[in-house]
């Protein structure tokens, strides 16, 4: 049994399959349907990445708020929590933005 890559989601399928097992794209050669599926997938992916980057931004704002809450010097635990949140949020934000950028460039 040979394996073929789905043109839409790029996952592997049996060459005997009539449609992708992962995204249900038919392999019957309907180029238009395939292109439409691919576009829809891309739009969904970009919407999801945009949501991720906003969630990451919220996390960063949350970290800053936690650190400066009450305008007092934060306890070491609170500073550490805020710092960790900020670092994770920043990395998450950058990863989302880079993925969004790559996704938009390839479309
Ligand atoms: Zn597929």
**Full 3-state SS string of 25-54:** CECCCCHHHHHHHHHHHHHHHHHHHHHHHH
In the reported structure, the alpha carbon of residue 96 is separated from the centroid of ligand 1 by a whole-number distance in angstroms of: 23
Residue range of the domain that includes 78: 3-105
Domain count, the chain: 1
- Please say if the pLDDT value at position 54 is more than 70: yes
Distance 49 CA to ligand 1 centre (A): 20
Is 1's pLDDT higher than 70?
A: no
Q: How far is Cα 62 from Cα 57, in angstroms, rounded to an integer? A: 8
pLDDT of residue 80: 94
For ligand 1, the distance from its centroid to the CA atom of residue 68, given in whole angstroms, is: 47
Q: Is residue 73 classed as helix, strand or coil in its secondary structure?
A: coil
Considering only residues 46 and 4, tell me which one the structure prediction assigns the higher pLDDT.
Answer: 46
Q: Note the pLDDT of residue 101.
A: 94
Contact in structure between 37 and 95 (CB atoms under 8 Å): no
């Amino acid at each position: 049994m040979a394996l073929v890559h789905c043109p839409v989601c790029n996952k592997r399928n049996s060459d005997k399959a009539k449609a992708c097992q992962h995204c249900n794209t038919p392999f019957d050669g309907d180029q238009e349907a395939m292109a439409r599926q691919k576009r829809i997938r891309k739009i969904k992916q970009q919407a999801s990445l945009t949501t991720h980057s906003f969630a990451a931004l919220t996390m960063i704002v949350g970290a800053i708020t936690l650190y400066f809450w009450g305008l007092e010097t934060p306890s070491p635990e609170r500073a550490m929590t805020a710092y960790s949140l900020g670092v994770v949020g920043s990395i998450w934000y950058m990863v989302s933005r880079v993925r969004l950028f790559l996704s938009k460039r390839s479309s």
